[in-house]
Amino acid sequence: KQWYQRRVAITAGITNNLRMSILFVILFAAVAAQENPILLASKDFLNDVIAEDKHLTMHYVIHNIGTEVANDVVVDDTAGFPAGEFEVVSGALSATFDSIPAGSNVSHAVVLKPLTSGMHNFVPAVIKYKNPSGDELVTFSSFLDNNPILSTTEYNRKHSPHLVDWLIFVGLCTPVLLIPFLMWHSSHSKYESLAAKAKKA
């Protein structure tokens, strides 16, 4: 019985020590995180509709919510927009910032043109940066999931001015308006002719 009680006591001691070690590691990690720059990045497109051969504006905002400055910040989104599927119209898919002070933010934008249609997976951008000690840290932007890219034909069908439809509408309405006008004009001319003859008589 004494041996069993000693074993229980030893096991309880080991369990308590393990719990204290885990708690210490968590607290150490939390303190270390507070002493480092912490970057949160958002990635979004500013278009209401994404279509083939139409400009697509991507916007990135990077916030430093840590207590230290983030140095040598590099935003890279080249993996999200392959060269065979997108053309860069203005700006670049990567950007560098010398530093982002604690509590501040920076932004970046690039204008692209989709070359194909269909579903596209907007994967997160990669953000690399260094803390004041020179250690390299990595984080990722927000995730946009799959979004449809409309084909040119589908985009024109949904968003064109519908000139053809208007021309057909005008063509159908013209006889309805023109025939009564011609009848009125004919009767009015006959009336004026009779009135002129009556005055001469």
For residue 152, give the DSSP letter. H
Cα separation of 196 and 187, whole Å? 14
**Runs of H (alpha helix) within the chain:** 2-34, 152-159, 163-200
**What is the chain's mean pLDDT, rounded?**
79
Q: Break the chain down into helix, strand, coil percent, rounded to 5.
A: 40, 35, 25
CA nearest 79: which of 120, 109, 39?
A: 120
pTM: 0.65
141 is written with which tokens? 């932007």
The answer to whether residues 125 and 76 touch, using CB atoms and an 8 Å cutoff, is: yes
Which residues are 112's β-sheet partners? Answer: 56, 88
pLDDT in tens, 60-104: 999 999 999 999 999 999 999 999 999 999 999 999 999 999 999
